[in-house]
Amino acid sequence: MGSRLCSRELGFGQPALCSQRLLRAVGLLMQGEAVAQLKSAKASKGEITASVAELNKAKENLSRLEERSKLKPGIPKKDGKIDYSQDFFARQAFLTVSGQLLVETYACAIGSVYTFGPTFRAEHSHTSRHLAEFWMVEPEIAFADLKDDMNCAEAYVKFLCQWLPDNCIDDMEFMAKNFDKGSIDHIRMVASMPFERISYAEAIKLLEEAVKKDKKFENKVEWGIDLASEHDQILASRQRHV
């Protein structure tokens, strides 16, 4: 029954999206019924408004899935040739993997390793700090979990923040004099303070609380988003790290 409903009544084009769209469609119908029941029961205006908001959100989510279903799989072509105008770079481009692929095998053999070199990205990002091409340090740690990764990242950042004033104080004083007077104190503070760690769910909850206090964001706060720089600023400022 589910497959017939997908293909005939809802017009789902891609099987991979069928179950998602079916669930969203059912949820939309249930939410619509909930709104109708509240109105017939003469519920309070606040309850009806909240239920209508949920209904509109369900409609929006289903609309997004419908747009995804219209995307044709494979490489876009025009007149029998690859249509590079639909590509990320809007033209023909050649990318290569970073050294990370190689050091993964080294990590399994000799433990903690890293690579430093040019990196390329061919995907959209919600932050201006991610470029299409840049140099990056990529550590690889065998038999590690998320906590080990965070420990490594925190130790590395603290090392850099301590190394800079110890070895490049002239450059740091130049920066403090001409650009940011508090830069030296700032990095020394980062080097000496423990990093606070919170889950993604906690971060979203804190940002939603900020929105309730009339904080405006360019990127809408909702579960599933990639946190942008403006979100990072709010989260970091809670501990006065910014």
If 0-12 CB within 10 Å is exposed, 13-18 middle and 19+ buried, where does residue 231 land? buried
What is residue 140's three-state secondary structure?
Answer: strand
Q: Check residue 173 and give its pLDDT.
A: 94
Q: Check residue 155 and give its pLDDT.
A: 94
Give the pLDDT confidence of 155-184 residue by residue, as tens digits: 999 999 999 999 999 999 999 999 999 999
- Which residues partner with 114 through β-bridges? 139
If 0-12 CB within 10 Å is exposed, 13-18 middle and 19+ buried, where does residue 21 land? buried
Q: How far is CA 89 from CA 77, 84, 85, in A?
A: 16, 8, 8
Q: Check residue 100 and give its pLDDT.
A: 73
**Cβ atoms 225, 203 nearer than 8 A:** no
Q: Check residue 112 and give its pLDDT.
A: 82
Which residues in the chain show pLDDT less than 70?
1-31, 38, 65, 68-73, 95-98, 122-130, 239-242
Q: Check residue 223 and give its pLDDT.
A: 87
Q: Check residue 31 and give its pLDDT.
A: 64
**Which are the contacts of 187, defined by CB distance < 8 A and separation ≥ 6?**
161, 164, 165, 172
Maximum alpha-carbon separation in the chain: 74
